Amino acid sequence: MTDSGRLTAAPSATKALNEMTISLLSQPVNLGLARVAVAAFFSQLDLVLSELEEIKVAVSEAVSNAILHGYGRQPDRWIEVSAAVYPDWLEIAVEDRGYGFSGDDQAAGGDGEEEGGMGFALMRSFMDEVVLVSAPGQGTRVVMRKKVRGAVAPGKPIAGNC
């Protein structure tokens, strides 16, 4: 977790140009809110539509995991989704205070009837780096980072539809 050159799940040393955090209850109805808020936040950048769509899928996976695995579908727990803009990249963190898991669980991958550990595979495909910090009984924090072409110049208004 502290290899140089690798993203740590701790806040970046570089100062964010803009950041936000949204706290939501662990209910599937709030998945759309998490996606919309993150996409709206990043609409200040000049992302292309497919990038925004990929970010939404990654957010969906991480928040679904918090609901399903972190909290075992308990509906009254809090999930924190934060997003930040840095000069050359963007960052999303999803955190729960739930069950957590050990490396073994993760290696084991999915356990559902119909799923097979696709969540992290999609997060890794759509973001440039995914770092996971989890401890059984303490919760899970997933930090995802995506490089943004060229320097980012925030200032575009955040649009009403995203």
Partner 1 sequence: MILQLEDKGRSLVARLNGEIDLQVADALRTALDRAMGEKGTRNLVLNLSSVSLIDSSGLGVILGRYRRLLQNGGRVGLVGPGPTVKRVLELSGLLRIMREYASEGEALAGLEPGDGNGGRGDDR
Ligand X SMILES: Nc1ncnc2c1ncn2[C@@H]1O[C@H](COP(=O)(O)OP(=O)(O)O)[C@@H](O)[C@H]1O
99 binds, among a copy of itself, partner 1, ligand X, none (CB under 5 to 8 A by kind): ligand X
Stretch that binds ligand X, among 43-51, 52-60, 91-99, 151-159 (CB under 6 A): 91-99
What CA–CA distance (Å, rounded) separates 63 from 58?
9
Q: Which does 54 bind (CB under 5 to 8 A by kind): partner 1, ligand X, a copy of itself, none?
A: partner 1
- 9 burial class (0-12, 13-18, 19+ CB within 10 angstroms)? middle
Tell me the window of 9-17, 61-69, 83-91, 135-143 that interacts with partner 1 (CB under 8 A): 61-69
Chosen from ligand X, partner 1, a copy of itself, none, partner binding at 57 (C-beta under 5 to 8 Å by type): partner 1
DSSP string, 11-41: PPSSPPSEEEEEEEES-GGGHHHHHHHHHHH
Q: Report in angstroms the alpha-carbon separations of 34 from 83, 110, 138.
A: 10, 23, 22
Residues that bind ligand X (CB under 6 A): 61, 65-66, 69-70, 96, 98-101, 105-106, 109-112, 115, 117-120, 140
